[in-house]
Each structure stands twice: as structure tokens, then as C-alpha cells.
Amino acid sequence: MPLSSSPQIVQRGNEPYQVTFDAMRAYTDARTSATPDQLWIVEHPPVFTLGLAADPSHVLAAHAIPVVQTDRGGEVTYHGPGQVVVYLLIDLRRKRAESRLFARAFVHVIEQAVIETLAAYNLVGERKPGAPGIYMASGPWQGAKIAALGLKIRASGCTYHGVSLNVAMDLTPFSWINPCGYEGLATVDMKTLDVDAALSTVQLALAHILIERLG
């Protein structure tokens, strides 16, 4: 019988992106009906990652930062120190509190978890139709992107990749790309919005809300 327990939290610390990427695929390759769902919490050294449909020209100037082709959805994004990254290794076929999760609902759950995490720090985030991720809803940084989302959902219903939330970063590398394929898209972090929060605290806050919302 498929497992119905909550996802396990796995702390992977500061880890090169390629190491995590290879490990996610290996974990998913080896899954069975008894394999537990997991949330991997990680912080990456600077890296640009490309989604399957990404146009490499959206990397305007890499400045010696590695550029890695991935198998997630979406365009180009940046990962670096001071950013919460949570990868969701989830079997969507498993029955949860109400019913099986489908792709659109899964994305909605992830985005809602980010919105609720920001709300805990008195920040108001919102979705934009057709543009996955979370954006600031008001104030001087209205419209700026604070969280990015990219997933791989295999035919088996098993997922990997996930969500990143900018906490206290050097945002300069975002200016060296067209974030998520959008020229001139502003990006922001919680520190710029006057929130002084420890990365580890935000990591766990987001992970626990994800677990709660995943049922």
C-alpha cells in the first residue's frame, strides 16, 4: 500500500547545484511505492540554471558563474547564498487528506506556502497569471519577484525540483540574466524589504507550511 505519512525533511546544507540535481534524479529513479516523500532543504553556491524550454540568450553575462541545463520547467533563474531552496520529491499519486494531487493543484500549494511564509513576516506576496512564482503585491517593490518555481513531474507522478525564496542575497547576478525569461524583471529579497530573518528560520518555516498544505 502507498505511504500516507507526511514528507520527511532532509537538510542538505550548502551543496553545489549539480550534486543536488544528480541526487534528486537518482532518488526519483529508485523510487518504489514504499519510498517516502521528502523535502530537501539546501543552499547553493552561485549558479544559473536553465529549464527545458529556456533560451540560453537570456543569460546576458554569466560572469564566471556556472550555467547548468536542467530538466525542470521554466526559463533561467539564479541560485545563491542567502536563498531558501526547497526541493519537493513527492509522489502525486498518493492519496492525501482529501484526494490525489494533480499538477496544477500542486503548483498552487507551493505558491500558497510561499505566500503564507511571507505573511508571517508581514510581507504580502501574490501570484501572476501565467508567470509561476511569487511577486510583491504592494509598496515600492510591487511586481518584483521574490520566489521562483520550477518542477519536473514524471509520467509516474513523481516530482522533483521545487521552489526558491530570496531571503538575504547579493541580488546582482539577477541583473546578468532575464529572470524567468522576462527582460527587466525586478527581483527582491526579504532583507531589502526590511525583514531581518535567519535563513535557517525561513527554511524551516517554508518547509513546515509545505508539509501542512500537502496534507
Sign of CA dihedral 18, 53, 102, 133: positive
Whichever domain contains 77, its CATH number is: 3.30.930.10
Query: Does 182 reside within a domain?
Result: yes
Q: What is the pLDDT of residue 1?
A: 36
**Burial class for 62, CB neighbours closer than 10 Å (0-12, 13-18, 19+):** middle
Task: Say how many domains are in the chain.
Answer: 1
pLDDT at 28 over 60: yes
Task: Judge contact between 47 and 66, C-beta under 8 A.
Answer: yes
Please check whether residue 161 lies inside any domain of the structure. yes
Percent pLDDT > 70 in the chain is 96
Establish if 3 belongs to a structural domain: no
pLDDT of residue 132: 86
Strand order in the sheet with 67-69: 67-69, 47-50, 76-79
- Asked if the model's pLDDT at residue 4 lies above 80, the reply is no
**pLDDT tens string 81-109:** 999 999 999 999 986 655 678 899 999 99
pLDDT on residue 143: 97
Q: Got the DSSP string for 158-186?
A: BEEEEEEEESS---GGGGGB-GGG-TT--
41 is a domain residue: yes
Strands 67-69 and 145-153: unpaired
Which of 180, 188, 206, 210 is an active site residue?
A: 180
pLDDT tens digits, residue range 143-174? 999 999 999 999 999 999 999 999 999 999 99
Q: Which residue has the higher pLDDT, 1 or 123?
A: 123
Q: Is residue 1 part of a domain?
A: no
Domain hosting residue 57, numbered range: 8-214
158 an active-site residue? no
pLDDT attached to residue 130: 82
Residue 130: inside a domain, yes or no?
yes
Taking residues 27-54, report their average pLDDT.
97
- Per the model's pLDDT, the better-predicted residue between 158 and 5 turns out to be 158
Is 2 a domain residue? no
The amino acid sitting at 107 is V
The answer to whether residue 25 sits within a structural domain is: yes
